[in-house]
Each structure stands twice: as C-alpha cells, then as structure tokens.
Amino acid sequence: MDTLILGIESSCDETSASVVKNGRYILSNVISSQVDLHKKYGGVVPEIASRKHVELIMPVINQALEEAGTPLDAIDAIGVTYGPGLVGALLVGLTAAKAIAYTTGKPLVGVHHIEGHIAANYLQYPELEPPFVCLVASGGHSHIVQVESYSKFEILGQTRDDAAGEAFDKISRAIGLGYPGGPLIDRYAAQGNSSAVRFPRVQFEDGSLDFSFSGLKTAVLNHLNRLAQTGEQVNIPDIAASFQQAVVDVLVRNTIAAAKMKGMGKIALAGGVAANSQLRSQMKSQAQKHGIEVLYPALVLCTDNAAMIGCAAYFEYERGNISGLDLNAVPGLKLG
Ligand code: KG4
Ligand code: ZN
C-alpha cells in the first residue's frame, strides 16, 4: 500500500505544496516564489512574505493535489514546516496544514526545515540511506550534519555568525548585482579570475569544524572601499569569483574533514547554496581524492520546496512521530 504525504512549506519566501509517494517519489511539487516581490528591497521583507503566503497557500495546495491527480481523501498525512524560519511566514503554512488535518481527521506531521533540506537527497537518490555527512548551506543556515538515521542528527559544525547564503546575498548587494545573490554571483564568477583577490578563509584554532563568514564579508567590503578611494575600477566578475572561491574553500575543507572524522564514504549537499556550481564541482573533485562520493539534489530541490518537506514527513510518519493540532511555529527551532 502506498503512503501519500501532502507536504507544505512557507518558512521564507516560497509558498510550496507537494504530494510525495513513499517518501521517495514526487507526484507534484508546486513552488510559487516571491523573489520578484522582494527584489526591490534587496532581501525578504517578512510582513510582505506573510501576506503573500496567505494569498497563495490554498491555490498552491489545490494545484499540488490536482497535478498529482490525488484527491485529498487519498492523502495519508499532512507534513508541514514548523521551524526554523520567519514566524509570520511559518504560521501561514502551519495554519493551513492544521485546518486540513482537523477537517479531514488526517494526521499532522511537523517537519524541521533543515531535516527537509537533507531529505531532498532521498528524492534525488531513491536508494540512498543514512548514515552520511550532509552540508546544509542556505540563506539561514550553514551546518555540517552527521545524518545517523532518517530522524537522528548530530551537528558537527555550524556558522558562528553569517550563513553562507547570507554572505552571498550581502556581497551581491555590495557589488550591485541584486537579490538573491547566490545565483548572480555564481553566474558572474564564471567570467572572473578566482585568484584575483585573496580573501580570508577562517579556520578555528580549536580544531572546530565551525564556519565564520562575517570576516570575509568585511574583507570584501574593505576591498571595495579601497578601490573607491583610489578610483580604481571594480572588476565585478573577479570579485565575485574570488569571494565565491573563499566560501567554497572553507565549505569543502570542513565538510571533507567531518566525513573523514566520522569515517563516512558519502557527502550529501543540501540547501540553496548547494545549487552553487563551484561548490558542487569542487566538493566532488576534492572528495574523490579521499575516496568519498558526493551527492547533490537537482537545483529545484536545493532551494526551498515542499517535496523535501513531504519526504521528511514520510519518515517521521513511518516512525509514528505525529504532531498535535496545538503545534506552534518555532522560528528558532534547533535540529536534533
Ligand atoms: O534554501 P534556501 O532556498 O532558503 C533558505 O532556507 O534560506 O536558500 C536560499 C539561499 C540564498 O541565500 C541564495 O543566495 C542561495 O541560497 N543560493 C545560492 C545559489 N542559489 C541560491 N548560493 C550560491 N550559489 C548559488 N547558485
Ligand atoms: Zn531553506
């Protein structure tokens, strides 16, 4: 008997709903991005995001059911992100999910957003099973996670200040490329020289696998100020490529060190930054030298989407981890 999960995601600026079969197969994955709406402000405006989610959530859910050819009756459980994220945004998806669960009597499964990002790999690789090391790098998080099982996680390293995606977004704004920064920097960097400027790569002396990106951000801003003072021309592709290389170097270095420390033969990438072309290729080539395989989801499964939430919810549902209808949004929800 197949298990069908209706997945719902609204933690940031994507309103998304999906139908996922047996935690591995996507029957639909409708994503309505608000990127164009937030672009002119240079980042996500929480109040605008919440209001837009309210408008979109039911049409997106209905479309996901329709595209999957699955009536609501045939759904086994409703999986929804309840944190971390923007509280107003989270509440919209969560309230819709609770209303559907209440009226249909179907179980509600609250999902941790990062657990969802990790689960995107189960959709990409239907044979993949834990354990493996996962680098989750997005606009809000940069975590190296030991995925012990479908529901057990150990954080091996995390950012002590800015998230990797946040650094991409801030530097993109500083060099006038706009929002969201990751894909734009990725594109401009392809025309630039990644050794043009040597930006810092933070390594903590205590042997920790944590990251720090705020010093890198300051170094890029200082470099731009220096150029402005001396009247030198800013070579945007070179700065984009040099900055990107500094981020990729530390993400690759620490993730491979984590995999070696844990004796893992597999590294999975997840989150919006996992869409980065250089991160993908350099992680792969560096890991290969240590006999470690690198996995990453298709681009659409790296950035926020509800299929990954439906997938993570399936594994929670299977082990009986059902949420009460009093489930609340938890903006700072911790993993593990
Ligand atoms: O996972 P996601 O959609 O949302 C969060 O949970 O934060 O990640 C969005 C982040 C943004 O910071 C965006 O700039 C970054 O992922 N991103 C990228 C790329 N595509 C998206 N960063 C680097 N290179 C990319 N190609
Ligand atoms: Zn995300």
Picking from 194, 197, 174, 172, the residue whose alpha carbon sits closest to that of residue 183 is: 172
What pLDDT does 251 receive?
98
336 is in an annotated binding site: no
What pLDDT does 36 receive?
85
Picking from 120, 140, 122, the residue whose alpha carbon sits closest to that of residue 130 is: 122
What pLDDT does 38 receive?
86
Count other Cβ atoms within 10 Å, centred on residue 54.
Answer: 17
Output the CA 234–ligand 2 centroid distance in Å: 32
Q: Is 140's C-beta closer than 6 angstroms to any atom of ligand 1?
A: yes
249 contact partners, CB below 8 Å, separation of at least 6: 201
Q: Is 138's C-beta closer than 6 angstroms to any atom of ligand 1?
A: yes
> What is the value of pTM for the model shown?
0.96
What pLDDT does 58 receive?
98
Q: Is 165's C-beta closer than 6 angstroms to any atom of ligand 1?
A: yes
Picking from 271, 334, 310, the residue whose alpha carbon sits closest to that of residue 80 is: 310
| Token pair of 226 as six digits | 């220096």
Output the CA 229–ligand 2 centroid distance in Å: 38
Atom of ligand 1 nearest to the CA of 165: 12
pLDDT in tens, the chain (336 residues): 999 999 999 999 999 999 999 999 999 999 998 888 888 888 889 989 999 999 999 999 999 999 999 999 999 999 999 999 999 999 999 999 999 999 999 999 999 999 999 999 999 999 999 999 999 999 999 999 999 999 999 999 999 999 999 999 999 999 999 988 999 999 999 999 999 999 999 999 999 999 999 999 999 999 999 999 999 999 999 999 999 999 999 999 999 999 999 999 999 999 999 999 999 999 999 999 999 999 999 999 999 999 999 999 999 999 999 999 999 999 999 997
38 is in an annotated binding site: no
117 is in an annotated binding site: yes
Q: Between 214-230 and 236-262, two packed helices, what is the crossing angle to 10 degrees?
A: 160
Output the CA 260–ligand 2 centroid distance in Å: 26
What pLDDT does 4 receive?
98
Identify the nearest ligand to the CA of 140 by its number: 1
Residue 157 backbone dihedrals phi, psi, to 5 degrees: -165, 150
Output the CA 271–ligand 2 centroid distance in Å: 6
DSSP string, 186-221: HHHHTTS-TTSS-------TT----B--HHHHHHHH
Q: Which domains, ranges and CATH numbers included, belong to the chain?
A: 4-118+302-318 (3.30.420.40), 129-297 (3.30.420.40)
Whole-angstrom distance, CA of residue 64 vs CA of residue 61: 5
